[in-house]
Chains A and B, each alone.
Chain A
Amino acid sequence: MIKQFANLLTQDEVVNVHEASLEILENVGLLVRNEKARQIFKRHGCQVDSQTAIVKIPRRIVEECRKSFVPRYTFTARDPKYDKVLPDDSPVIVTASSAPNIIDPKTGEERRATSTDIANIAHLINELPGYDVFSISTLAEDAPEGQFSLSRFYPALKNCLKPVRSNTPNMHDLKQVLELGALIAGSEEAYRERPFINHHYCPVVSPLTMDVESTEAVIYLVEQGLPVYGTIVPNAGMTAPMSLLGTLVLGNAEFLALATLIQLIRPGAPLIYAVLSTVADMRSGAYAPGAIETAILQVAHTQMARFYNVPSGGYIGLTNAHVNDAQSGYETGMLTTAALLAGADLFNMGGLLSSLMAFDYAKAVIDNEIALMLKQLKCGIPFSKEEMCIDLIAEVGPGGTYMDKVHTLKNMRKVALFPKVATRETRGRWEEDGRKDAHQRALQEAINILKKENPAVFPPELDSKIRAHFPGLVPGEAVFND
């Protein structure tokens, strides 16, 4: 347990950011390109300009909506055993998703990812204990016409019992994916009881714009009472001010706008204050999610989330590295550590290189280890009289050893984390073992898992039912030939 979260703002400053955000929503407003969203805002008393599509949200309405914010968000899994609740189960570790490419585990070359890759990745994530939610890591280049999202969700759900999360590009795909959910659950009612597809969108395009398609999906899902949340993605220097505070204010205003829309539709609908707030690298304009400023902004947004009493997090722990190298490790490690100490709940962090463009198996395994380290860090120091070991310290006294004590025997398997990738061998043994670096060890670990049978697959009857319902569906089998 972390007893005092790391803060970068004082409480007064937090209130100031909130006030500034209200001012922006009231005076500048948002360009809302989705007609339904404009209607909802209008119906509830916001000022809507039908010519410009600018919506101005009075502070009174935002403050009213804040009253129905709820502090919990649940990720439902196919198997209830894997359900995760924010913030109770924090840190909730999620893979990063929707990369078009994969680093081929055999050739080491980047190529487009396929539905079979998704099946294999789903199998891997199901087995790696650090991950709580599988956000579908890649796209499927082999998707048949009209089955873009189905070719991602089917192999993912078929091979992973943990909650599955991702997005859909349009309403056709969203409804198709929900149909798949109902088939798996047995009926639409059963699915609504336990909606194990966890939807995510980026409906806000910074600065201050709400798009058509993603907003439509959010409205639909909130109306239906199905799980959905959004990530806010301002980019300082490009789509937000070149100021950490300015970007925080803008991003916070955008979060409030989305949260207000959601609460206007269904008061009490669960929210996550999720962000990918970054600073552009102004030397070239490059996107830099692995920069330390991403962590600074995440910490501050997490403080804002605490002020609103909603779970927080986002895409934190991404990297710009193109191979699973030291940069990949230190960017993911440092950014997530900062966010964890600040009390963030949700970490969309695992498995991707090249700022969200490519999946790498070994990276996913190393990120699993980082995830376990974060969870260990979150546990902190259990505090009690007994844990202080005063009697034991007296018993051993100066100069003794603890190695042969019953106390050590009782505690040694639970006090420390045993990493699988990190080496603790002597140099000599490591050399004998082929001088393998972390990447090679991690890749081996991935291959070991993938070569095993996947215990998580659909029962055959269910699988035939699904395949009959969606003719031409991709195979979705996890197959890994060494």
Chain B
Amino acid sequence: MGVQSIFDAVISLDSDKVVELVKEEIGKGTDVSSILEQGLIAAMDEVGKRFSEGQFFVPEMLLAAQAMKAGIDVLRPYLIRSDSKSKKGTVVIGTVKGDLHDIGKNLVAMMLEGAGFEVHDLGVDVDTDTFVNAAKEKNADIVAMSALLTTTMPTMEEVIKAIKENQLKCKTMVGGAPVTQAFASRIGADGYSEDAPGAVEKARELLGL
């Protein structure tokens, strides 16, 4: 019953309820990994399924992710490192220098977050140094860049070069309406996707998750 109601609360997008129920279960001594696996993560899998079937819309996906995150925050002190499947990797994301388009980038950031990645959004008009420094500072697994202008796409290549020069071990991902797989390959990006759900899949693939 208990873990199932956490699952249900995530599906009904109720963060407060999730927090309350997770605390209750911890108090009852329920196995934390079952709260995590069968409660929170299973719920997000269900949300993902409903989203790809077109039943759930973007904001529902986001709110469910927030509810899940709220639950995980309560759970975190009780989780042993090994079973913290909750954190999938760290992503630094931004729209490149000279570009102000952020609708698509925001969607990608939010979906990655929903899928359990730790996301650091650097905003728009982000220069190479800012990307590189953030990647170092946050110990990023992936640096993700968005560009909607053909004039700003070349700066993605600069960022990728700088990451390599700095010998950072992170992977790179690029996207945005005018960006193509061919362009991504040419500039040496590790990943490309046409849309936000694809970006999540790609990120998982790059990190072997």
Contacts and interface: CB of A to CB of B under 8 A. Distances in A.
Interface of A: 100-101, 112, 139, 141, 148, 169, 205, 211, 235, 237-239, 280, 282-285, 287, 357
Nearest to A139: B150
16 contacts: A100-B150, A100-B178, A169-B98, A169-B149, A211-B100, A235-B103, A238-B106, A280-B103, A282-B57, A282-B58, A283-B57, A284-B196, A285-B58, A285-B103, A285-B196, A357-B178
Given A139-B150, A211-B100, A285-B107, 7 more contacts: A100-B178, A112-B150, A238-B106, A280-B103, A283-B57, A283-B58, A357-B178
B207 interface: no
Contacts, number: 35
B107 A283 contact: no
A13 B29 CA distance: 58
B151 interface: yes
B195 interface: yes
Question: Lowest 5 CB-CB distances: which A-B pairs, in order?
Answer: A282-B57, A285-B107, A100-B178, A100-B150, A285-B58
Contacts of B178: 100-101, 357
Contacts of B150: 100, 112, 139, 141
Nearest to B153: A100
B54 A283 contact: yes
Interface string B99-125: 010011011000000000000000000
Nearest to A287: B103
Interface string B40-68: 00000000000000100111000000000
Contact of A205 (B59, B100, B107): B100
A148 B151 contact: yes
B177 interface: yes
Contacts of A239: 103
Q: Tell me which of A100, A101, A169 has the highest count of chain B C-beta atoms within 10 A of its own C-beta.
A: A100
B103 A238 contact: yes
Contacts of B100: 205, 211
A282 B106 CA distance: 14
Interface residues of B, number: 17
Contacts of A100: 150, 178
A282 B54 CA distance: 10
B195 A284 contact: yes
A345 B150 CA distance: 31
Contacts of A285: 58, 103-104, 107, 196
A205 B178 CA distance: 20
Interface of B: 54, 57-59, 98, 100, 103-104, 106-107, 149-151, 177-178, 195-196
Nearest to B108: A285
Q: Tell me which of B54, B104, B149, B150 has the highest count of chain A C-beta atoms within 10 A of its own C-beta.
A: B150
B59 to A, nearest CB: 6
A373 B92 CA distance: 50
B197 to A, nearest CB: 8
Given A235-B103, A283-B58, A357 B177 contact: yes
A211 B54 CA distance: 35
A421 to B, nearest CB: 29
B103 A284 contact: no
Contacts of A237: 59
Contacts of B151: 148, 169
Nearest to A149: B151
Contacts of A235: 103
Given A100-B178, A235-B103, A357-B177, A284 B149 contact: no
A239 B107 CA distance: 12
Nearest to B177: A357
A280 B62 CA distance: 15
Contacts of A283: 54, 57-58
A101 to B, nearest CB: 8
B186 to A, nearest CB: 13
A61 to B, nearest CB: 26
A191 to B, nearest CB: 26
Contacts of B196: 284-285
Contacts of B103: 235, 238-239, 280, 285, 287
Nearest to B150: A100
A283 B51 CA distance: 8
Contacts of A169: 98, 149, 151
A280 B196 CA distance: 15
B59 A282 contact: yes
Nearest to A169: B151
Contacts of A287: 103
A211 B100 CA distance: 8
A258 B107 CA distance: 28
A183 to B, nearest CB: 24
B126 to A, nearest CB: 14
Contacts of A148: 151
A67 to B, nearest CB: 32
A100 B180 CA distance: 12
A238 B105 CA distance: 12
B155 to A, nearest CB: 13
Contacts of B149: 169
Nearest to A205: B100
A205 B99 CA distance: 12
A258 to B, nearest CB: 16
Contacts of A357: 177-178
A269 B103 CA distance: 32
B16 to A, nearest CB: 22
Contacts of A211: 100
B53 to A, nearest CB: 10
A139 B151 CA distance: 10
Contacts of A282: 57-59
A101 B59 CA distance: 31
B4 to A, nearest CB: 28
Contacts of B98: 169
A357 B151 CA distance: 14
Contacts of B107: 285
A169 B100 CA distance: 12
Nearest to A140: B150
A284 B177 contact: no
Nearest to A209: B100
A172 to B, nearest CB: 12
A264 B59 CA distance: 40
